């Protein structure tokens, strides 16, 4: 894959991750949430759907050439987000604070900049 295509694919992935984790500011605060935090409020289905989308981000990172060490770190973030995020109330607060997809795109960005 050419560098130009990688950059374009990374930018698309970055926009998706922003939508998932940081697209909406809670009025009167500096706190930002995204679709992950909102859809995750739906018990069972919401967390499962967000798990699939987060795994898609990891898959795209692999397709961009990220090494296994980065992919494993990303998978740990996704698993932690899913497991803790599934706990009622505590999981919703954790989703707002942890932002696994932002962590994962940062891992990918750091790797790509090397």
Asked if 4 and 18 count as a contact pair (C-beta separation under 8 A), the reply is no
pLDDT in tens, 76-89: 999 999 999 989 88
Which pLDDT score is estimated for 42? 87
pTM over 0.85: yes
Interatomic CA distance for residues 36 and 111, integer angstroms: 24
Interatomic CA distance for residues 70 and 62, integer angstroms: 9
Residue 43 or 112, more confident: 112
CB atoms within 10 A of CB 80: 14
Which pLDDT score is estimated for 1? 59
pLDDT in tens, 12-66: 999 999 999 999 999 999 999 999 988 988 887 999 999 999 999 999 999 999 9
Q: Does residue 10 surpass a pLDDT of 80?
A: yes
Which pLDDT score is estimated for 2? 66
Q: Could you tell me where the DSSP H helices lie in 1-114?
A: 3-21, 35-39, 45-63, 68-85, 90-98, 100-113
């Amino acid at each position: 894959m050419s560098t130009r295509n990688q950059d374009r694919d990374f930018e698309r992935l970055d926009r998706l991750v922003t939508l998932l984790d940081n697209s909406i500011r809670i009025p009167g605060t500096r706190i930002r949430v995204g679709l992950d935090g909102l859809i995750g409020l739906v018990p069972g289905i919401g967390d499962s759907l967000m798990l699939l989308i987060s795994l898609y981000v990891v898959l795209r990172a692999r397709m961009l050439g990220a090494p296994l060490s980065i992919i494993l770190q990303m998978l740990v973030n996704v698993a932690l987000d899913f497991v803790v995020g599934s706990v009622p109330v505590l999981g919703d607060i954790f989703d707002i604070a942890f932002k696994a997809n932002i962590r994962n795109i940062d891992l990918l960005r750091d790797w790509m900049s090397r």
